[in-house]
Structure 1
Amino acid sequence: MRLYAIVILFVCLAASNLEAKSPNIVLIISDDQAWTDYGFMGHPEIQTPHLDRLAAESITFRRGYVPDSLCRPSLATMVTGLYPHQHGVVGNDPPPPAKLKDLPKRKQFASKEYLKIRNEYLKQIDDDPKLAEILQKKGYLSHQSGKWWEGHFSKGGFTHGMTHGDRTRGGRHGDLGLKIGRGGLEPVKEFVDMAIEEEKPFFVYYAPFLPHTPHNPPQRLLDKYKEKTPHLSIAKYWAMCEWFDETCGELIDFIDGKGLAEDTIFLYVCDNGWITEENASRYAPRSKRSQYDGGTRTPIMVRWKGHVQPQMNETDLASSIDLVPTVLHAVGLESEITPEMDGINLLDAEAVKSRHKIFGEILEHDIQHMTDPVASLRFRWVIDGEWKLILPHKGREPDAPVELFHITADPFEKKNLAESKPELVSKLTKEINNWWPVD
């Protein structure tokens, strides 16, 4: 009888340990890529076999979005679970001193006066919830690589990382971290190996400077795409998308190869969209920084092998504000979800089906005020089911029209229906004002 009791106790302890095992988290973030520019999203030329495979193994939300189509605010949302106007990072660079405002950026950045302001703005994220910092409560090690604007990686709660964030040494949006992907994956691989050796769950933030400019892909990929388009700038961008895909495949295969496929949650999102101009490697209108889906839409994926049934979700809405709540639910830290977080758990089918609308805000590239987000506001938008309303803020966009699109039937937003549907415009305007009322 005593032996039986010991066996039962051993089994219970083993089961308890099994249940307590926390999944690893890998967040993959593309940098400047349109929602259309993947094989699984139907692009006729761009080949992304590794991301296609990830999509097939994930709950993949084809109607995913980021609130703002600009990298710094967008990235801050992914790690805080808050909208830009909530976390306070509402643009890429804070306002320079008045006497410097007409100078080129490089001269502004050389100023000691502006350095003080830039460092001051790094405090915006200090009081916000940060995913890596929260995960430390369950013993997670975390690693930052790639695009990161908020100073030293430790300011984001990461235990390890690549970005030093020193504004006097080129620290602006990632510095040494921007070598990841383009220069291989060794820092991430070394971190994963260390976490495994220490028997700690890990969080990898992988945000390579890809397919972002400079569009300088390997020659083998450029040659491949030069045959598919007469425009060199477009061929370069398409090749960059495949180069990014290759690095994602290397990362996924490395972690799966460690036998961690069922113990790791992979999440995928893009910071903002991109449409390449035909004659230059720069973004076209209606993409990056715009209020249109070319800037804000992105596929969002969640893969957890052995735990989550893959699904290609064509209809339901997802947002990058959902990433933090999804992770916190998955690791048993849902009590850390604050009342300010409007996101849902993307692994909760009922919550996904119950949501009918998502919101966003389009802000200036250059921050207009250190503490007032409204000063930088250009547009607010809502998607409610099949409809999208874009509401200009008169303070920054006095001449812009209100725009209403039947977004499922008109995904490239070619026909503005605002004048023909005033009641719907009124309804959706109220929804926006209830979400974030501004003067």
Structure 2
Amino acid sequence: MEKVFRSYPFKCVFMVFLLVSMTKVTSFAQGEKPNIIYILSDDQSWNDYGFTGHPHIETPNIDKLAGEGHTFTRGYVTAPLCSPSLASIITGLYPYQHGISGNDPEFKFEGKRYNNNWQIARSRLYKDYLDEFQKHPTIPMVLKKLGYLSFQAGKWWGGNYKEGGFTDGMTHGDPSRGGRHGDEGLKIGREGMDPIFDFMDHAIDEDKPFFVWYAPFLPHSPHNPPDSLLQKYLPLAPTKSVAAYWAMCEWFDITVGQLLDRVEEKGLSENTLVVFVTDNGWIQDPNVPNKFVKGSKQAPQDMGIRTPIIYKWPGKIKPKMDHSNLTSSIDMAVTTMAAVGLDPLPDMHGINVMDKKALKKRKEIYSMDFSHDMKGVDVPEETLESRILITSPWKIIVPGVANEDTQEVLLYNILKDPLEENNLANKHPDVVKKLTASLDNWWGK
């Protein structure tokens, strides 16, 4: 296990940027650097969109985006929890590499969790994790060397937006003012889109390419959608709590439309790479508002880690609804770097998904599930609940030491059994042996 969780040596910023600047140009045709927009849904199941077949939730703007891009319907995130999942997206590293395996440090506190004093106490313990995370370059840091301006809006666990390499942003990160996972940034979408629009105007005025991190607190709880949307879904949903969640999904879609409409109005669509993903899944509890049920968020099942992943870049990426190829959120950083003419950094595990040969060669992708609270930056294995490998047609879930539900290996034919109801591990011991060995080999890299 020491090999698995070896510490990654500190890379000084100068050496990282020197490496980036020396990296050779790859993949996409050369020309003007594209603007880049990441759209990150927060707590939404992979099938809670119109284009993925939901019978009631209306998402016309995301449906349109899916139709215009290369849409991987078999996409997965690196973890079924927002902080480690988002940290992987911004670095191109797995949680065991970047050091963020959970949302919060584990510690004893006399009083109510999440209050102001708890936030301050948390921040002191979280510094170790933040220090480890900040040893690794983020996409905004890499892009800055190419002249990009970047804007953080929405969910962000990495302290002040500047600490993540963004040139501009909304999150202050001050624990005495609620700086845990986004603070002021969580207003985006719910209270309008002007901060992003103002940033885009600024970048245009400066004649600079830009990167936007749009990670709104949507459809995340509290599920308090505009009343017009709630009333729309009440007759369709089994309960009010489900109706409220469905309405939140459409509210998120409306904001996506507002963002993409602004890109179109500014004449930027042809030279803008848009990437869409969700951070983790969600199944709404039908009887308890703002609560998820077991087997979704914080779980290794597909309802916790599966997501559509969309790449749209007119003229560069051919539209395709891709139901066969596997992809992961770990690929977003590598694909983004390829779009601006850079090779991936050495520690990145992802691939450029627009490289047809690399996509065809890939046979497996991986994910991992840790406890919500972390015991120590040097001992993530102590909160490991599951390691996951997905291939075709198999998906294997190997329990870790912190798994309180089961120590039984789970094997599913995920194509025939997408709800993961029939564990086939005992019927296919040869498959279990082969996939476990592959998982162990990846885990130790």
Using structure 1 for the length normalisation, give the TM-score. 0.92
Would you say 1:424 and 2:431 are equivalent positions?
Answer: yes
Note closer, same or farther for the CA distance 1:129–1:300 as it changes in structure 2 (3 Å cut). same
**Residues 407-422 of structure 1: matches in 2 within 5 Å?**
407-422=414-429
> Matches of 2:429 and 2:371 in 1, distance apart?
28
Aligned counterpart in structure 2 of residue 312 of structure 1, from 317, 321, 329: 321
Q: In the alignment, is residue 268 of structure 1 matched against residue 273 of structure 2?
A: no
Given that residues 78 and 321 in structure 1 are in contact (C-alpha distance below 8 angstroms), is that contact kept between their aligned partners in structure 2? yes
Task: Tell me the alpha carbon deviations over residues 145-176 of structure 1, each in whole angstroms, 9 at most, x when there is no partner.
Answer: 00001100011110000000011110000000
Question: Structure 2 CA distance, aligned partners of 1:112 and 1:244?
Answer: 31
1-structure distance, mates of 2:365, 2:428: 20
Q: Which residue of 2 aligns with 1:223?
A: 231
Deviations 1:91-136 (A, max 9, x none): 000122xxx3575424684476544213343212111120000001
2:328 is aligned with what amino acid? S
Distance in structure 2 (CA, Å) of the matches to 1:19 and 1:118? 41
What is the correspondence of 1:139-158 to structure 2 with a 5 Å cutoff? Answer: 139-158=147-166
Cα-to-partner distance string for 1:243-267 (whole Å, 9 max, x where unaligned): 0000000000101111111110000
Q: Select 1:85's aligned residue among 96, 101, 110.
A: 96
User: Is 2:34 the counterpart of 1:23?
Assistant: yes
- After superposition, residues 342-353 of structure 1 pair within 5 angstroms as 342-353=349-360
Q: Which residue of 2 aligns with 1:11?
A: none
Mapped pair 1:73 → 2:84: yes
Question: Which residue of 2 is the match for residue 3 of structure 1?
Answer: none
Aligned identity (percent) is 48
SS in 1 for 2:330: helix
* SS of residue in 2 equivalent to 1:316: coil
Structure 1 contact 67–361 (Cα < 8 Å) conserved: yes
Which of the two has higher C-alpha Rg? Answer: 1
| 8 Å Cα contact 2:120-2:176 kept in structure 1 | no
Q: CA deviation at 1:434?
A: 0.5
Deviation at 1:399, TM superposition (A): 3.6
Give the match's secondary structure for 2:307.
coil
Give the unaligned 5+ runs of structure 1.
Answer: 1-17
CA distance in 1, matches of 2:135, 2:390: 29
Q: Is residue 299 from structure 1 mapped to residue 298 from structure 2 by the alignment?
A: no
How far apart, in 1, do the equivalents of 2:322 and 2:377 lie? 39
Aligned length: 416
The letter of the residue matching 1:49 is P
Match of 1:377? 384
Q: 1:73 aligns to what SS in structure 2?
A: helix
Q: Does 1:257 align with 2:246?
A: no
What are the ranges of 5 or more consecutive residues in structure 2 without an aligned counterpart? 1-28
Provide the rounded CA distance (Å) in 2 between the counterparts of 1:368 and 1:130.
24
SS across alignment from 1:171: coil
The match for 2:172 is 164
Corresponding residue for residue 124 of structure 2: 116
The answer (yes or no) to whether the contact 2:71–2:308 under 8 Å persists in 1 is yes
8 Å contact kept, 1:145–1:180: yes
CA deviation vs aligned residue, 1:173-212 (integer Å, no higher than 9, x gap):
0000000000000000000000001000000000000000
Q: Which is richer in helix?
A: 1
Distance 2:178 2:109 in 1: 20
Q: Which residue of 2 aligns with 1:47?
A: 58
Aligned to 1:266, the other structure's residue is in SS state strand
TM-score (norm 2): 0.91
The match for 2:336 among 327, 330, 350 is: 327
Is residue 201 of structure 1 aligned with residue 183 of structure 2?
Answer: no
Q: Could you say what secondary structure the match of 2:223 adopts?
A: coil
Aligned to 2:47: 36
Whether the 8 Å contact between 1:80 and 1:131 is mirrored in structure 2 is: yes
Amino acid at match of 1:331: V
Distance 1:124 1:379, change over 3 A: same
